[in-house]
Amino acid sequence: MNQNVEHRPRPVDRTVSWSLYVVQLLASAVLALLAVTSVFMTDSCGSVDDEPRVCDMGYFGSTLVGYWVLLVVLVVVVPLVIVRTTHRDRASWPWALLGLAALAAVTVLFVFLMTR
């Protein structure tokens, strides 16, 4: 490979990456607030014979806090990866898109665990 080739930053890649990250950041904030409403899943606790796992407050609390921790981890890790890949002159938008996909996967897992 020619060492004299000048590497130019790709403004479209950066714009797309940071735009996807902003979408992830806003979605994480909204989902974190909406997760608080999952406490209403415990309304039927004590009124039925076959209680769901969410009626165990330890299970409920650890699932909710675990979800919040994963949201924070994604919010912190994705921009670090974007900066690192941009610095290495690689495409960073796939990592931002992966962050959104991970957010969706974590949310689906949270809903699954809360409805068990």
Report yes or no on 48 lying in a domain: no
Q: Tokens for 102, please give them.
A: 């991970």
Which H/E stretch holds residue 2? none
Backbone angles phi, psi at 21, to 5 degrees: -65, -40
Write out the residue range of the structural domain in which residue 77 sits. Answer: 11-40+53-114
Output the pTM of the full model.
0.84
For each of the chain's 116 residues, which pLDDT tens digit applies? 555 555 555 789 899 999 999 999 999 999 999 998 888 877 777 777 777 788 888 998 999 999 999 999 999 999 999 999 999 989 999 999 999 999 999 999 999 998 88
Q: How far is CA 77 from CA 41, 58, 90, 110, in A?
A: 31, 28, 17, 20
State how many domains the chain has.
1
Report yes or no on 110 lying in a domain: yes
